[in-house]
Amino acid sequence: MTDSDEALLEGLRAGDEAAFSALVSRYQPRLLRVAESLVSNRAVAEEVVQDTWIGVVRGVHRFEGRSSVKTWMFRILVNRARSAGGREVRSLPVDDDDVLEGRFAPSGAWSDPPEPWSDAVDDRIVAEKLAVRVKQCLPRLSAAQRQVVTLRDIEGVGADEVCDLLQISAGNQRVLLHRAHARLRDLLDAEMKGT
């Protein structure tokens, strides 16, 4: 049976190295993925993650449980990324309407509804290749869109927590997520059509 995050945190508070090792194993890839969406390159992201682990160890006795352990660690990560030079994004200028152009009819409905990707997937191997391709397309999104998609879709962080972590409004978070999905769809459509 796998220990819960809370149990591992209690172990860390007690000085249990195995608990710390288990937390690192569980969260290192996730923290690195989020850090890469916040800073300019992988080397800086790796430093931010290392600083995050130092912050976790130093702050473990101050954690009050007002959020999940995952959200607490992501908050430390975001703060470390900002101080490492990641630029703070509070809002997105509305200048990328070309992503939405022609996508909706005047009534607000889809002018050409998206086809569910899962219907076109015949087996799991193809689906896994598509997931890999989506991740490869992430760098082509704006920084703000990439951060929201990484936290929401890849890491499963709730909308309210994303707003709090990135210090953006709920409306801005929804717009960023929608535009990111639309951009990813356009990129994948172009690849699938060979253009």
- Residue 161 in domain: yes
Q: How far is 96 from 116, CA to CA, in rounded Å?
A: 24
The CATH number assigned to the domain holding 156 equals 1.10.10.10
> What confidence score (pLDDT) does residue 41 get?
86
Residue 189 pLDDT level (bands cut at 50, 70, 90): confident
Parent domain of 131 = 97-193
Q: How far is 31 from 24, CA to CA, in rounded Å?
A: 9
Sign of the CA dihedral with 160 first, then 108, 130, and 144 last: negative
Helix (H) / strand (E) element for 183: namely: helix 170-193
pLDDT digits (tens, 9 = 90+) for 131-156: 788 888 889 999 999 999 999 988 88
State whether 104 and 182 are in the same domain.
yes
State whether 63 and 107 are in the same domain.
no
State whether 103 and 178 are in the same domain.
yes
Domain final residue, candidates 83, 118, 144: 83
- Residue 27 in domain: yes
- Residue 92 in domain: no
Instruction: Go through 65-99 and write b for each residue having 16 or more CB atoms within 10 A of its CB, e for each that does not.
Output: eeeebbbbbbbbbbbbbbebebeebeebeeeeeeb
Does the pLDDT at position 195 exceed 70?
no
pLDDT digits (tens, 9 = 90+) for 106-136: 766 667 766 655 554 455 656 677 778 888 8
